[in-house]
Amino acid sequence: MWTLFVALASFAGFIIAYNTYGRYLSKMLFQLDRDALMPSEELRDDVDFVPTRKSVIFGHHFTSIAGTGPIVGPAIAVFWGWLPALLWVVFGSILIGAVHDLGALVISLRNRGQTVGEVAGRLISPRARVLFLLILFFALTVVLAIFGLVIAVIFKIYPESVLSVWLAMPVAIGIGFWVYKGHGGLLAPSLVALGLLYAAVAIGVYYLPITLPASWGNPVIFWTVLLMIYCFFASVLPVWVLLQPRDYINSHQLVVALVLLVVGVLFAGLGGQTNLFADAPMIAQNVPKDAPPIWPFLFITIACGACSGFHCLVSSGTTSKQIANETDAQYVGYGGMLLEGALAVLVILCCTAGLGMGVTTADGQQLTGLAAWNSRYNPELGWEGFSLAAKVGAFVDGGANFLTAIGLPIALGTGIVAVLVACFAATTLDTATRLQRYVIQELATSLHMKPLENKYLATALAVSLGFTVAMLPGPSGAYGTGGLILWPLFGATNQLLAGLALMVTFFYLWRRGKRVLPIAIPMILMMLMPAWAMLWQMFTTTKDVNTGEPVGWLWSSDPLQCYVLFGFGVVVMTMQVWMIIEGIIVWQKARGVLEEQLPPLPAREQKGISPTTA
C-alpha cells in the first residue's frame, strides 16, 4: 500500500505544482502573451520553423527530453536509498527542472527561436555566446556518443525491442506526408500507428527478436553505425517528415506504456503484492566503499529526472521553432518536465518495489523482497560493478513485474518496458543530432567557417564526432567500449549546463527589472553541486573493493581514460568559470538595461500557407 501512496502523492504534487507555481511563472514572471508573434510564423520555412498544435509539439518535446537519463539516473541513485532519490526528483522537477525548461523556451520564443547560447551573446557578452556554444558542442558530442551506445546496448540485451523501434520510422514518415501534404486528420493514423507499434512489440517478443549473426561482428558497433546514419537524415529532413511525427506517435506509445505501469502499480499496491519499506532500504546504510558520496553526487546522478541542461537545448533548439502560441509554453515546457519527473518516480518504484515482487537469478533461484533488491544492488560488487545492463535491467524487470499485476505475461511485459527505454533514447538521439547541427552552424558563423554553415556538412561533422567518441577503445582494446568512459562526466557537464542556462534566464529577467529569486536559487545550486562533483571526480581517489588499491582518473592504468576524462573536465570547468566571470562583469550595469535588440528581418514574400498541424 505504501508503494501506491508514494506514487499517488508524487503525481498529485506534480499536478498541483503545474496549476500553482507553473501558472505563477507563466502569468506573473514571464507574462506569456497569446497575441505575440512566434518564430514559427515569423521565420516559417516548413523545414525547421513550422507552426504546430500544442498536443503534437508536446509529444516531440517530451520524448526528446526524456531519454534514458530519467531511467538510468534514478536506477543508479536508489543505491543510496529510495527516499533521497524520490525527494530530489519531486522537488527538483517542480522548483528547478521545470523552471529551467520554461525559462529557456520563453527566452528563445522572444528571440526568433535562437538557442540559449546565441541569446547569451546579447544578454551577457559576445564572449559568453561563444563560450556557451562551445560548452554545448562538447556536451552534445558526449550525448550523441553515449546515447548511441546505450541504444545499441539495449538492442543487444533485448533483441525483442528492435522491431518496434525501427518500425516507428517508416510509419512516422507516412503520417507526416498524410497530415502535411494530404491535410488529413491525426486521430485515425495515430491509432493505426499505435496498434502497429504494439503489435510489433508482441511479434518481437514471441516471433521475431532480431539478433545479428555472429559473422557481422560486434552488434554494438553495427547498431551504432546504423543509428548515426539514421540521425544524419533525421537532422537534415524537414521536421514534419520524420522528427515531428516520429516523436508524436512515439509519445503515444510511451504514454500507453507509462499508463500501464501506473495501473500496474495501482493493482500491485491494492493487492498487497509490494511493500516499498520492506522491498528496499529507504536510506541505504551499506553502500560500496568505492561509491562517490551521496552529497553532491545525488544531484548529478539523477539529472534528467529532476533537472537537465540538455533540456535547454531542446526547448530553445527545436521546440521554440514549432510553438504556435506563446501561452503553450507552460503546457510544453513546464508540463513536459513534470511528466518526466513522473517517469522518474515510476523508475524509482520499479527498481525497488517492482524488483521486490520477484527476480530470477542466473542460477535459476527465485528471490523476493529485500533479497531480490540486493541481488541487483549488491554492495560487494562495488560501484564499478554496477554495469549499464544492470541499470537498465533493474527497471525493465521491476516494470515487467508491475505489468504482471494487470495480467500481462512476464515476457510481454519485459518487451514493452524494453521498447519504452529504447524509444526514449532514440527520440533523444535524433533531436540531439539536430541540435548539434544548429550549434555547429552558429559556431561556424561566429568563427567565420563558411563551409560548416551548410546543414549537410554540419550534420556530417556532428555524427562523425559522436561516432568517433563512441568507438573509442576501452581498457580491453575493443572498439565501442571506450566511449562509456565519458559517462562519469556526462551528469556533471549536463547539470553545469543547466546552471549556465539558468544564468541566461537570470540576466533576461534582471535586465527587465523583474523578480529573479525563482531563478537565482536554482542557478546557484546547479552551478555549485555539479562543479563540486566534477572536481571530486578529477582529484579524488577511492580504494578498489577487491584489491584495496587506489583508483580514480589520476591513478588509472589506462592512459587514454585518464587523459580523456581529466582533460575533458579541465576544458569544461575552465569555460564555465570564464562564463561566470563574464556574468559578474556585467551584473551591476545590466540591471534594468535592455539588451541590444535583434535587427529587423528583410522583407520577404508571404507563402500563403496555413499553419500545419503536424
> How many CB atoms are located within 10 Å of the residue 102 CB?
27
Residue 581: predicted pLDDT: 94
Q: For 517-545, what is each residue's pLDDT tens digit?
A: 999 999 999 999 989 988 887 777 655 55
Residue 595 Cα to chain centre, angstroms: 31
522518474: which residue's cell?
A: 344
| Mean pLDDT for the stretch of residues 447-457 | 92
Radius of gyration of the chain (CA): 23
How many DSSP H helices and E strands does the chain contain?
Answer: 26, 4
543530432: which residue's cell?
A: 433
Among 25, 1, 3, 6, which residue's Cα sits nearest to residue 87? 6
Burial class (CB in 10 A: 0-12, 13-18, 19+), 247: buried
Task: Label residue 23 by pLDDT band (50, 70, 90).
Answer: very high
| Mean pLDDT for the stretch of residues 175-201 | 84
In this structure, what C-alpha cell is assigned to residue 129? 555566446
Q: For 75-93, what is each residue's pLDDT tens digit?
A: 989 989 999 999 999 999 9
For residues 571 and 98, the answer to whether their CB atoms sit within 8 Å is no
- 145 contact partners, CB below 8 Å, separation of at least 6: 466, 467, 469, 470, 483, 486
501558472: which residue's cell?
A: 23
Distance (Å, whole) CA 392 – CA 76: 9
Answer with the residue of higher pLDDT: 608 or 126.
126
Q: For 191-218, what is each residue's pLDDT tens digit?
A: 888 899 999 999 999 999 999 988 888 8
| Mean pLDDT for the stretch of residues 357-386 | 81
Q: For 30-59, what is each residue's pLDDT tens digit?
A: 999 999 999 999 999 988 899 998 988 998
Among 422, 204, 438, which residue's Cα sits nearest to residue 319? 438
Three-state DSSP class for residue 449:
coil
Q: Which residues pair with 551 in a beta bridge?
A: 542
Give, for 359, the enclosing helix (H) or strand (E): strand 359-360
- 526 contact partners, CB below 8 Å, separation of at least 6: 96, 100, 307, 309, 495, 496, 498, 499, 502
Q: For 390-416, what is each residue's pLDDT tens digit?
A: 778 889 999 999 999 999 999 999 999
Q: What is the pTM of this model?
A: 0.89
Distance (Å, whole) CA 527 – CA 513: 23
Percent of the chain with pLDDT over 90: 48
